[in-house]
């Protein structure tokens, strides 16, 4: 009976959190703001490449930006600036996919933005503009598929 109780205690102890929850807000750390700026820079680089017909360079910038986007959106409440930068990256990627006739994947990127801005609080003029932009992007994608 005693070994069974010991096994139960060990198993229950393993159910606890691996690490104590962090009391610091990562969005207030220096790396967070720097990462937002890096993602904005990559977005501008990808936009310039896409506009000049250099889709391979745009793709490379977008791929580098995805790792930054993931890191920026990992906190429970990412900042507005981080959310906007992530939104810009997803929209660029969606536009590139749409231009390459990858309609389903493009629509997925645009839908991410639709969900992102539909649930953003507090609502602002900018969040409304971006929500409408996502709806317009989805409509353009749907027209291209027909």
H or E stretch at 64 = helix 55-72
Instruction: Report angle CA 75, 81, 83 to the nearest 5 degrees.
Output: 55
Per residue in 6-45, pLDDT (tens digit) is 545 445 555 555 555 556 899 999 999 999 999 999 999 9
Average pLDDT for residues 97-107, to the nearest whole number? 96
Residue extents of the structural domains in the chain? 30-145
Is 81 exposed, middle or buried (CB count within 10 Å of its CB: 0-12, 13-18, 19+)? middle
**Is the preceding omega at residue 122 within 30 degrees of 0, hence cis?**
yes
What per-residue confidence (pLDDT) applies to 10?
A: 47
How far is 57 from 64, CA to CA, in rounded Å?
A: 11
Per residue in 57-84, pLDDT (tens digit) is 999 999 999 999 999 999 999 999 999 9
């Amino acid at each position: 009976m005693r070994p069974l109780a010991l096994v139960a205690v060990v198993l229950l102890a393993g159910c606890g959190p691996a690490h104590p929850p962090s009391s610091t807000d990562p969005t207030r750390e220096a790396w967070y703001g720097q990462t937002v700026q890096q993602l904005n820079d990559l977005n501008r680089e990808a936009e310039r490449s896409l506009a000049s017909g250099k889709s391979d360079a745009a793709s490379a910038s977008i791929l580098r930006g995805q790792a930054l986007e993931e890191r920026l959106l990992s906190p429970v409440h990412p900042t507005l600036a981080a959310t906007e930068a992530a939104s810009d990256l997803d929209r660029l990627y969606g536009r590139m996919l749409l231009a390459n006739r990858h309609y389903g994947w493009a629509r997925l990127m645009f839908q991410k933005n639709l969900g992102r801005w539909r649930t953003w609080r507090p609502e602002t003029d900018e969040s409304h503009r971006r929500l409408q932009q996502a709806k317009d992007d989805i409509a353009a994608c749907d027209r291209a598929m027909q």
